Amino acid sequence: MLKIKYSKHARFRMIERGISHEEVKNAINKGARRLQGRKIVSAYSYFEVVYRKAGEKIYVITI
């Protein structure tokens, strides 16, 4: 199972937009992905999650 870490900015955006941790997990697992340099952008529902993957860890940069 992947461990998800959130940046301070990502946590702020989640609160601001009413997005739950479960929705972020769904976006990472089920969303339409595209690469943006070394980052992955996953579009899901009404939002996008920008993250990086390092081994078994996912670092969410922004939502």
Question: Which pLDDT score, from 0 to 100, does residue 53 have?
Answer: 94
Rounded to two decimals, the pTM is 0.92
Say if residue 1's pLDDT is above 80.
Answer: no
Unique residue bearing structure tokens 């997005």: 19
Tokens of 23: 């929705």
pLDDT band at 2 (very low <50, low <70, confident <90, very high): confident
* Buried residues in 19-50 as b, exposed as e (16+ CB within 10 A): beeebbeebbeebeeeeeeeebbbebeebebb
Instruction: Give the tens place of pLDDT for each residue, 9-45.
Output: 999 999 999 999 999 999 999 999 999 999 999 999 9
Strand partners, 62: 50
Cα–Cα distance between 37 and 25 in angstroms, integer?
22
Strand partners, 52: 59
